[in-house]
Every structure is written in structure tokens, then in C-alpha cells.
Amino acid sequence: MKWLFRIILIIIIAFGLQYTPITFSDDFCFVVYTVIGIMFPLALNQKMTFAFIEIPNDKFVKEQRSRLAKIMYSYIVLFAFATAVLLLKSLALNFEWKWIKFDFKFFIGSYLIFTLVYFIGNFISLAKLKDQIDDEIRKLKYSKNDD
């Protein structure tokens, strides 16, 4: 449901951008897609750096692995959809009905920017998760030293 809301929000933003002086050139879209393409393997690689070996708290490990799996899945879906959307850019789809018009290039630009922001937000989330794991490991080590 959250994703449906996000896509609807992107469509609304894209619709509104048509009536502003903002444009999304082909170069802009390709550059943003290239940045997303660079961030995608980095994000997946970052997921693989998490080690839960030293954490005996099974509940914590299960929750964090689930969280990582969701992030990884969202990266894959967002990147795959960004690729499909960029390929559709060449079709130059437009919709017009009475006073309503929708130019697909604004959806493409808005979606690519959303994906870029989402990737950055999840990088920050992954860094916080890494800190949580490190804190959990330190807490366990110090509690063993106190015994």
C-alpha cells in the first residue's frame, strides 16, 4: 500500500510539473539513471557487509535480516523499474483529454529523482543499521567482560 501511495504521489508531482517551467531533458534523465546505476551495486554490496555471527540475540538478527531483505528487494525493483521507464522514454507518450494533459517525460524525471532520493535514504538507513549492529556487539562484549 505504501508503494502505491508513492507511485500516485510521483504521478501527481509529474502532472503538476508540466505546468511549471521545469523540463527533464534526455541528458538529465540519462545522468540521473547513471548515478542510480552506480548506486545500485554499491547498495547491494553494502548489504553483504553485515555480519551477525557475534550476535546471539536471534530475534534481533531475524528482524535485521528481514529489514535488509526488504531494502535489497526495494533496490532491485526500483532499479528494474527505472530501467524500464527509461527505455519507455523513447516512446514519448502523451495523454490529453479536454483540459487534462499528461506528458510521460515528467513522470520519468520525477520517478528517477524519487529513486535517487530513495537510494540515498536507504544508504543512510543501512549506515544506522550498521551502527545498531556494532552497538549490539559492543554491548554483548562488554557485558561478558563484566561477568
User: How many domains is the chain partitioned into structurally?
Assistant: 1
Q: How many CB atoms lie within 10 A of CB 138?
A: 11
**DSSP of 9-41:** HHHHHHHHHTTSS----HHHHHHHHHHHHHHHH
The pLDDT tens digits for 11-29 are: 778 777 777 787 778 788 8
Could you report the per-residue pLDDT of 27-51, keeping only the tens digit for each?
Answer: 888 888 999 999 888 888 877 777 7
Cα–Cα nearest to 128, from 136, 73, 2, 116: 136
How far apart (Å, rounded) are the C-alpha atoms in residues 35 and 19? 27
Quick one: pLDDT at residue 136?
Answer: 77
At CA 90, angle to CA 88 and CA 91, rounded to 5?
Answer: 70
Residue 67's domain comprises 2-146
End-to-end C-alpha distance for the chain, whole angstroms: 48
Roughly what angle, to the nearest 10 degrees, separates helices 104-146 and 26-47? Answer: 20
